[in-house]
Chains A and B, each alone.
Chain A
């Protein structure tokens, strides 16, 4: 039976791990390579790096981090943030990433996904959708870490990225990100019901129950969290044991 995945995410800025509250007020807390190794030794099913400054700054730092991490961690590694061109993807994959997560570039031109998936395979193309609730049962896609409104309906967009070659969707609720109040389960449910590719839940985890909700109520194939693991509130193993005790199958 396929197991539900737990994915710790490391937000990286200038080569250091940070996690912001609603993407502001960044706290500096650690070396990404070392952190990734701790997670992978602790049973993380995948590791995710999000380069949160990639849009404006030099990308070589993240490439170097990916290269070092890939030599030490033998679980899948996803890298996102500022992935806009085929060359960006090539560079990250050559450095040792297994998947890249594409956000703004997919919103700007969804056919970029077609090109990317044709060249590298759908298995390594994750589309990161940042969505914000705009009215009852309606969510809109945002870009640039939640700063830019796009007017695009999140559900429609999710269907489109699937058709265009995304292998997975990384769905972040911008309303919940950094709040520790739990995933937006309604949003998750509507997206997992309207697509046939795996969805990774993100944004808002504060307790282990939230992970349970993301999988069981939201239908997510994987749950991503940053701060609850990063600040040591819970170990990956504790999260897995908790889910297992509630009959959610995980890799123990």
Chain B
């Protein structure tokens, strides 16, 4: 099996590479690339994302044919794709970080700034928070409810269809921190930085 981490020159993906390398050891082939041919022939895709919504979308668009290839992979061919942090946020129709920016539009909804209740909650939301599992998700196999995951973000994904939400976390309000819609998976938290529990989620995705 081939798992591809999409490297679209936005932000730091070393930790994603390190954690997937650790989990994939001897089990699957791991590629880190933006080569659309290699992406097409993969079995699974990981879409990381660091920095702002706008900078990530801009970087995706800069690579010729990448967005179409990803769409073909995930939406038409319905093969498993995991978005992490801004990688998940980009599933939305629109994001408001820096400037109003069109997202990939794969899961209808928007990405807006966390309401920090006039400074009562510090932003970014940084650190370990508990996830509250809202529905069964394939990537949560053997993950206990209220497990701790590592978060770093100031914006949240608000999907229109609440049935896609697989977990939330409590920070000023119930923030969507994981979604599953058919073959699409996304986590707002960083499984690659969430110690053994995070590695388990990566393992679950790889074993899908």
> Which residues of chain B in 184-201 are interfacial with respect to chain A, using CB atoms and an 8 Å cutoff?
192-196, 198-199
| Cα A212 to Cα B125 with chains together (Å) | 21
Partner of B14, one of A95, A168, A222: A95
Instruction: Note all chain A residues with C-beta closer than 8 A to B55.
Output: 121
Q: Are A124 and B150 in contact (CB under 8 A)?
A: no
With A71-B18, A93-B14 already in contact, the answer to whether A167 and B126 are too (CB < 8 A) is yes
CB distance from B38 to the nearest CB of A (A): 21
Say yes or no for A230: interface residue by CB 8 A criterion: no
A68-81 CB mask vs B (1 if < 8 Å, else 0) is 00110011100000
The interface residues of chain A lying within 8 Å CB-to-CB of B170 are 1
- Selecting from B75-83, B99-107, B116-124, B160-168, the interface stretch reads B116-124
* Chain B residue contacts of A98, Cβ below 8 A: 12, 15, 193
B127 touches A120 (CB 8 A): no
Q: Which B residues are CB-close (under 8 A) to A217?
A: none
A 1-28 to B, binary, CB cutoff 8 A, 1 in contact else 0: 1111100000000000000000000000
Q: In the complex, are the beta carbons of B125 and A2 less than 8 A apart? A: yes
Cβ B126 vs Cβ A124 within 8 A: no
| Residue in B14, B116, B122, B153 whose CB lies within 8 Å of A123 | B153
Docked complex Cα distance between A222 and B127 (Å): 9
Q: Majority SS of interface residues in chain B?
A: mixed
Interchain CB contact under 8 A, A221 and B126: yes
A80 to B194, CA, bound (A): 22
The answer to whether B134 has its CB under 8 Å from any CB of chain A is no
B152 CB–A CB distance under 8 Å: yes
Contacts of B89 in A (CB 8 A): none
Chain B residues, CB < 8 A from A71: 18, 21-22
CB distance from A191 to the nearest CB of B (A): 12
> How distant is B170 from chain A, measured CB to nearest CB, in Å?
6
Query: For B150, what are the chain A residues with a Cβ–Cβ distance below 8 Å?
Result: 75-76
Instruction: Enumerate B1-42 residues with CB–CB distance to A below 8 Å.
Output: 11-12, 14-15, 18-19, 21-22
Name A168's contact: one of B18, B126, B199 (CB within 8 Å).
B126
**C-alpha spacing A94/B122, complex, angstroms:** 28
Given A123-B126, A124-B50, CB of A75 within 8 Å of CB of B193: yes
A contact residues, range? 20 to 34
Q: Identify which of residues 12-60 in chain A touch chain B, using a CB-to-CB cut-off of 8 Å.
A: 40, 45
Tell me, yes or no, whether A105 is within 8 Å of chain B by CB.
no
Is A196 an interface residue when CB atoms closer than 8 A count as contact? yes
Report the Cα distance A4→B122, complex, angstroms: 13
Min CB–CB distance A5 → chain B (angstroms): 5
Q: A65 to chain B: closest CB distance in Å?
A: 14
Q: Are B50 and A197 in contact (CB under 8 A)?
A: no
CA distance A95 to B122 in the complex (A): 29
Q: Which residues of B contact A203 (CB under 8 A)?
A: none
Contacts of B128 in A (CB 8 A): 2-3, 5, 45, 251
B93: Cβ under 8 A from any A Cβ? no
The answer, yes or no, to whether B58 is at the interface (CB within 8 Å) is no
Query: In this complex, which of A45, A76, A167 has the most chain B Cβ atoms within 10 angstroms of its Cβ?
Result: A76
Measured CB to CB, the closest approach of chain B to A31, in angstroms, equals: 19
Chain A residue nearest to B23 (CB atoms) is: A74
Q: Which of B15, B22, B52, B119 has a CB less than 8 Å from the CB of A196? A: B119
| Chain B residues near A93 (CB-CB < 8 A) | 12, 14
CA distance A74 to B197 in the complex (A): 10
| Residue from the set B50, B153, B170 with the largest chain A CB neighbour count within 10 Å | B50
CB of A96 within 8 A of chain B?
A: yes
Partner of A121, one of B11, B151, B192: B11
Known: A75-B193, A75-B195, A198-B127. 9 other contacts (CB 8 A): A1-B130, A2-B151, A4-B127, A74-B18, A74-B22, A97-B12, A120-B50, A168-B126, A221-B122
22 A-B pairs whose Cβ atoms sit less than 8 Å apart in the complex = A1-B170, A74-B22, A74-B194, A74-B198, A75-B194, A76-B193, A93-B14, A96-B18, A98-B12, A119-B51, A121-B50, A122-B154, A123-B50, A123-B124, A124-B12, A168-B126, A198-B124, A198-B126, A221-B126, A221-B127, A222-B127, A251-B148
The 3 closest A-B pairs by CB, nearest first: A121-B51, A93-B12, A123-B152
